[in-house]
Chains A and B, each alone.
Chain A
């Protein structure tokens, strides 16, 4: 019997509260062992971990690479696999490999299979894929079933074809199907964070509002505590609410800290839209059980008659090269808004003598406006600045050519009032130009309307 079938059977035969462990909100950045072991000692019914996010930007998705280091990712996966198999409980992982497209999922699965081989583990592995078939997307686009939101331009067929990867965030349905089918370990591509933890209790009929609210909180491990952190959290779920307790005794889940977690990375603290409904937190209540445990009740679930899947896609826009340099000359700093474009114009005339102007060159001047999106108009000039140059060009060679030429001409650019005629820039090391590889941008961030929001996410079963 598989772990998911056993847990479902147990609780169906003798109804009792469920215990769920949120092991990590970013698997691959470390799962502290003492809290993980404390969680296992509480005889949990499942372990879940989120492995990805869109926050990391478009390049990981487009390039098909994980954001986390392979050795650290393997250490975390090994810890969770050994713990879940020792207790014979389901391990559920969502958004595999940081961005959850095919290459990320394959890299994650290769690590899982190798750990199983080395550790002599045998289990039934469920795999859920999140890659969106292009013909399906073209059909949906033609039928008016792909909608822009948050000010994104409308999707075009050209953008679909030009995407390196397009994934959809899967809801709880595909996870429910896999867990009902019977698996020991479930690894999914791009997923809603909530799906990881909501699927198993929803199969057991726990109220969906409470289940989704719990899932949304524990997918971030102990981030909802004071002090917040990455230690495992334990949720104990019943038919009226759930209790939260960090598995690190130093972290306290208080009514205010747990309520405040609804703010985190969300535009609306009172609600959350998911593929097949929305979570309404207007009547949520948070009560202290003691100084480090909080009980949560009151969330409501509003099923949607028009399910939607959030699509995420990334498109390659060229190859990137950067320049790292500093400056401390007050005249250079005072005149940089004229100097930088003037040097760029000199470079353009040189590198475009026999080639089109096929690149973009931008500068960020740290100390002035390198970070803030809207710096105030008047501030005292800084004593030093850091100048980050960036070129995006059709090839790595072209990007390097433009960046190297820019370095030289910016170093020696003459400007009115200049005293430092031997050079305008300080290089921390040489070469100061770095080729950083392909550059991507998000070109798909749209909602796909589908009558059955579970249908694009196939389940595969593998026995290890």
Chain B
């Protein structure tokens, strides 16, 4: 099953101008457990998907919000010449098709 068919929210935004933060929120504790235990959201897999060094990726489970937070270093600082998404609000797209 793809992540987009299980999650309630999959979103991205800047966390400051040098980082991107991606949130995956689930509707139930069972769905949350399924995603949090899947190797598909490991830092190595996320780093490969976004083509950034694994050391620049953090994956933080947040059970109170039934959510998983992923934080990445931005390849370009927000608003620098060549940036493609100043708010970072459309960088979630690669997560949608992750197979769990």
Contact = CB atoms under 8 A, between A and B. Distances in A.
Interface of A: 54-59, 150-152, 255-256, 259-270, 284, 286, 317, 360, 362, 364, 370-374, 376, 390, 392, 439-442, 445
Contacts of B23: 260, 263-264
Nearest to B52: A374
A260 B62 CA distance: 8
Contact of B81 (A286, A373, A441): A441
Contact of B79 (A58, A256, A364): A58
Contacts of A262: 62, 64-65
Given A269-B69, A373-B50, A442-B79, A284 B64 contact: yes
B100 interface: no
Given A267-B19, A269-B62, A374-B51, A360 B79 contact: no
A150 B16 contact: yes
A360 B81 contact: yes
A312 B91 CA distance: 24
Interface residues on B, range: 35 or more
Contacts of A56: 86-87
Contacts of B79: 57-59, 440-442
20 contacts: A55-B14, A58-B79, A150-B73, A256-B64, A260-B62, A262-B65, A263-B65, A265-B14, A266-B15, A266-B21, A267-B58, A268-B69, A362-B82, A371-B93, A372-B84, A372-B90, A372-B91, A392-B81, A441-B79, A441-B81
Nearest to A312: B17
A247 to B, nearest CB: 23
Interface string B61-73: 0101111010101
A151 B19 CA distance: 9
B94 A374 contact: yes
B77 interface: yes
A269 B17 contact: no
B75 interface: yes
Contacts of B62: 259-260, 262-263, 269-270
Nearest to B58: A267
B16 A267 contact: yes
Contacts of B35: none
Nearest to A269: B62
Given A55-B87, A263-B67, A150 B19 contact: yes
A151 B84 contact: no
Nearest to B97: A376
B31 to A, nearest CB: 12
Contacts of B86: 55-57
A440 to B, nearest CB: 7
Given A372-B84, A373-B50, 19 more contacts: A54-B78, A55-B13, A57-B78, A150-B19, A151-B18, A256-B64, A256-B65, A259-B65, A263-B65, A265-B13, A268-B71, A317-B81, A360-B81, A362-B81, A362-B82, A370-B84, A373-B91, A441-B81, A445-B18
